[in-house]
Amino acid sequence: MNLAAIPSPASAVWHLGPIPIRAYALCIIAGIVIACLVMEVRLRRRGVAPWASLDITVWAVPFGIIGARIYHVITSPGDYFGSGGNPLEALQIWKGGLGIWGAVAGGALGAWLGCRQIGIPLSVAADALAPGLPLAQAVGRVGNWFNNELYGRATTLPWGLRVHEMNSAGQPTTGTDGEPVLRAGLYHPTFLYELLWDVAVAVFVFLADRRWKFGRGRAFALYVMGYTLGRFWIEMLRDDPATHVLGIRLNVFTAAAVFLGALVYFLRVRGPREYVVPILPEQPAPETGPTTSDVSQVDVSARTKRAAATTPIGYRVVDERRFEAYRATGKLPDEDGDDDPADEAATVTGDDDPQDARATGPHRGTSTGR
């Protein structure tokens, strides 16, 4: 008996009365929370209003789930449209079947829509999220362990994984003694390999971004390169059913293609880290007139008006020097004299005139998470 072998949970679902509580769902939710908190902290350090990350998340998460499901269905069509398949099961997402590639693509689309609502460039949010996303993926892989899935080929390594036989409902099969049945032998714990790799990618991106202060989405591109590099070799160890092209798992080709795309973007796109300063609504001139002590004349909405006056209607993108000056003084330095116009980034409004700080078009927005 190999005492160092890694066991697998015999159950991935618990019931709270008639309500099933799935370990995989809990891991996904925990991962989303971690990614959102990391993005929130990093967005605030770049000048975005508190809890703007929630406005982005409420768009990114649903689009990410839809994208993940679409990718899974497209790359595994036989499970739903082949012989014996049921097309309606393509909509039954609770039965499992999500693809990380579709999740990132769909989540990016949702994040772009969320960024348009609050008035910041997608690149600012992407760079803020870059270390948090691999942490979320690492937590999600724990859910795969509970599901007894995404394991690798058979191995004799001391840290091999014991795997239960699973039925079509995703539950362990039981023997005549009522105990869950284990598959013969040990298998590569590829879920654990990817978990550890994801954590390493998160640390690497965080440290590299702190050292070189990447901008314009380059920190996110670095995350993509790091993740796909690991996914490439981990995918080669997996032995679960998957679509193959030329005898190789489709996800191997996908990882290689996405890595090359991220590498090209990282090498070609240049620019300093982007910061933002808020564009506040114009405040009306104070009313003048005789004062009165009549309680009925007190404006009970004054606090609400003051909050609205300090809520950004958009943001203006600046470089680090101007951002630090804004934080110190409450206003941007003059744009003449010693300032080099090349140092200033464009505003999110896309206006040609850098003097114009008004938010227009789709970049107008406020943070509903305040």
Task: Mark the ranges of the chain whose per-residue pLDDT is less than 70.
Answer: 1-4, 94-96, 168-170, 283-310, 334-370
Q: Residue 21: helix, strand or coil by DSSP?
A: strand
316-369 pLDDT, tens digit per residue, is: 999 999 999 999 998 888 654 344 444 444 444 444 443 344 343 344 444 444
Residue 334: what pLDDT? 67
Residue 313: what pLDDT? 81
Give the separation between CA 128 and CA 124, rounded to whole angstroms.
Answer: 6
Residue with tokens 């090209």: 264
Give the separation between CA 189 and CA 174, rounded to whole angstroms.
Answer: 22
CA distances from 292 to 98, 296, 297, 299, 306 (A): 65, 10, 7, 12, 21
CB-side neighbour CA atoms (13 Å) of 212: 14
Residue 326: what pLDDT? 92
For the entire predicted model, the pTM comes to 0.82
